[in-house]
Amino acid sequence: MPQDLINPAITANTEFTHLSSDGSARMVDVGGKQSSQRQAIASALVQTTPAVIELLQSAGLKKGDALACARIAGIMAAKKTSDLIPLCHPLALNKVEIEFSLDARLGQLRIVAICAVTGNTGVEMEALTAAAVSALTIHDMCKAVDPALVISQIQLEEKTGGKSGLWQRAAFLAQRPAQTNAEQTNTAQIKAAHASTEQHHD
């Protein structure tokens, strides 16, 4: 079991909920699940050259401001996740945010996607899709100057809400900048709502 996971017990469930007893694909019925505030954070890493990172920082690419374009693409992708991933439920998202962290010395761009919803199923796939499509958009904007650009490490970093509660990747906590006041408030509200739900069920 990976050692960089906080609350790793969540990964112990090996039941494939998207498969029926005969192995056929199915869309999970979430109608009986309790609605709660849910949030998911996913990231992607873009490896390019220091020169390309400087172009991204200055919006100096011939195609224009790649970061602005990638941010919009990520937001749009999150909203379209159920059209792209066959068994995902359509969600009325409360929030989609795309953050960029650029390191010119290493030639790296880290993309972080944050999605939130009040509902009865999680937003992990929306966050992952947002991060992936943002990274693909960066590739499209930069391919003329660096066709060797590499996209990697598309992964879930954190989820809150729902029956399983909080799950975090420990390494992500160490590398992410401190949360803004708004993010701290939102995370605290989600955790408080989950705690209240647990007490109600008890």
Report the side by side order of strands in the sheet with 95-103: 5-6, 167-169, 150-160, 36-47, 108-119, 95-103
pLDDT exceeding 90 applies to what percent of the chain? 58
Domain 33-159 is found in CATH 3.30.70.3460:
no
Tell me how far apart the alpha carbons of residues 176 and 104 are, in angstroms, rounded to a whole number.
Answer: 17
Rg (CA), the chain: 18
**Over residues 161-189, mean pLDDT:** 67
88-101 burial: b if 16+ Cβ within 10 Å, else e? bbebebeebbbbbe
Q: How confident is the model at residue 153 (pLDDT cuts 50, 70, 90)?
A: very high
| CA 156 – CA 84 distance, rounded (Å) | 18
pLDDT for res 184: 52
- pLDDT higher than 50, residue 134: yes
Question: Is the model's pLDDT at 197 over the cut of 50?
Answer: no
**How high is the pLDDT of residue 202?**
38
Position 19 pLDDT exceeds 60: no
Determine the pLDDT at residue 13: 54
Spacing of C-alpha 137 from chain mean position: 16
Catalytic residue numbers?
Answer: 140
Query: Does the structure show a pLDDT above 60 at 166?
Result: yes
What residues does each domain of the chain span?
33-159
Reply yes or no on whether the pLDDT at 3 is more than 70. Answer: no
Spatial separation of the C-alpha atoms in residues 54 and 81, rounded to whole Å: 31
Residue 159 corresponds to which tokens in the numbers above?
């989820």
Q: Whole-angstrom Cα distance, residue 55 to residue 71?
A: 16
Mean pLDDT of 94-116: 97
* Section 16-28 average pLDDT: 54
Res 9 pLDDT > 50: no
- Tell me the mean pLDDT in the region 32-48: 88
Q: Among 105-109, 144-148, 180-184, which is the least confidently predicted range?
A: 180-184
